[in-house]
Each structure stands twice: as C-alpha cells, then as structure tokens.
Amino acid sequence: MPVTIRRATIDDIICMQNANLHNLPENYMLKYYMYHILSWPEGSFVATTRDVDEPQMDQLSLEDGKGQETKLDPNYLAPGEKLVGYVLAKMNDDPDQQDQAPNGHITSLSVMRTYRRMGIAEKLMRQALFALREVYGAQFVSLHVRQSNRAALHLYADTLEFEVLSVEKSYYQDGEDAYAMKKVLKLDELHPKNFANRKMAEKLEDDFESDLLVV
Ligand code: ACO
C-alpha cells in the first residue's frame, strides 16, 4: 500500500476537513482551509493512498439525474484514492506581528488512525517546513500542541527538534494548556531528501552493531 505525499490543492479541502473532524477537536470552517491553500498554495500537503481493489466510482459522487452531484464518501479524493493525512500550514500574517522576521505557522496536522506510526506525519511536516522556508522565506515556524498529546510532542520535540517557547494557559476551549513551540528553519538542513531514508539508515547502523561478535 504505497503512500504518496503531494502538495494540497483546493480539490482536497473537503477530505482534509473530514480528516480533521475525525482526528482533532480543533476544527475549522471550509473557508479557512481555502484561505490557506489560496494564499500559500505551496505550504500544505496531503498523504494519499490507493485502494488495492478496483476503484468504486460511487465513492466520489452520485449524479441525481438533474445534473446535481452528491458527494458520498469524504475519505475519497477520487475513485480509489483516499486521503490518509494532511498538514495545513500558513505564513504568519498577523498585522500586530509585522516587526518579526517572516515566519510560518502549522495550523493543523493529522493522520488517520490506521495509518499512524508509519512516518507519514514526519514526512508531511518535513515537506511543509521545507516549503515554508524555500518558497515563502520563513525564518522560523511556530505551532501549538496540547500538553497531553504525547504522540505529537514526540514528533515535534524529538523527531523534528522544535523547542518549547512557553506554556499558554487554557489555550484550548476545554481549558487545557498548550505548549507554544518554535523551530528555526535553515534551508541547508531542511531538504526532505536528507531524511528520506532516515529510518533505514538507523536500522543499518543497528544491524551493524548487532552483527558484531561478542567474545
Ligand atoms: N506515542 C509516542 N510516540 C509516537 C506516537 C505515540 N502514540 N505516535 C508517533 N510517535 C512518534 C514515532 O515513533 C516517531 O518517532 P521517531 O522519529 O523517534 O521514530 C514520530 O513520533 C513520528 O511518527 P509518525 O509515524 O511520523 O507519526 P504519525 O504519522 O503516527 O502521526 C500524529 C503522528 C500526527 C500526532 C498522529 O498521532 C495524529 O494524527 N494524532 C491525532 C491528531 C493530532 O494530535 N495532531 C497534532 C495536533 S497539534 C497541531 O495540529 C499543530
């Protein structure tokens, strides 16, 4: 089951919103997705996969005979092509923060449950960080994450080396605090190809060590 990471387009936003509703309590109106994709079209990415079986044409839409189409399954971008993860990213356009160097923001990231722990979120994030730096000149990127979100904290703090800037009290609607995190973006370190075989390289090192004879 190969997974493709590609730039998000306006045609993906219904599926992105659907994934967001499945995976996170922080939800947004469709126009907010549209705002991201139209304003920073190279900043957001989706992960997709294809069904092994024949694509079902009615996954996408049904024509009602009067020229009206009804969208049926919001998991599907096209017959047989399913969205399994997304990262929604933007540049900071807060007029009160115009004195700062150009900087990006990760609005939302999620991967569908059955596709987790396969490295998809890391790949989505690395593509977005590289694009924010290379295309939009972001000098750093920020995000918020719940203090209780172990999976995301591991990804941000350990895998991607974000630093915690501050704790924002009662940031979320239910009263939970957020870590405000930041990563300085250095172009030469960010190229996704530098990380394409990260896991494999780690494995090779491990194999080498375990192959040594203990005497
Ligand atoms: N517990 C501990 N570590 C974890 C977990 C977990 N449950 N899940 C992933 N990790 C680690 C992986 O082991 C890997 O670490 P490594 O680099 O040391 O090997 C690292 O995190 C990256 O793993 P991926 O496989 O790339 O992550 P995945 O595709 O599973 O997605 C995510 C992680 C996005 C947090 C997923 O669990 C998810 O969608 N959760 C619900 C939505 C969510 O919390 N989104 C983030 C909110 S914050 C925001 O949107 C700005």
**In the chain, where the domains are located:** 3-194
Q: How far is the CA of 154 from the centre of ligand 1 (A)?
A: 7
Q: How far is the CA of 147 from the centre of ligand 1 (A)?
A: 14
The Cα 140–Cα 145 span in angstroms is 17
Topology of domain 3-194 in CATH is Aminopeptidase (3.40.630)
117: Cβ below 6 Å to ligand 1? Answer: yes
pTM: 0.90
Q: How far is the CA of 101 from the centre of ligand 1 (A)?
A: 29
In order along its 215 residues, the chain shows pLDDT tens digits of: 799 999 999 999 999 999 999 999 999 999 999 999 999 999 999 999 998 777 676 677 767 777 777 767 889 998 889 999 999 999 999 989 989 999 999 999 999 999 999 999 999 999 999 999 999 999 999 999 999 999 999 999 999 999 999 999 999 999 999 999 999 999 999 988 888 777 766 655 555 454 455 44
110: Cβ below 6 Å to ligand 1? Answer: yes
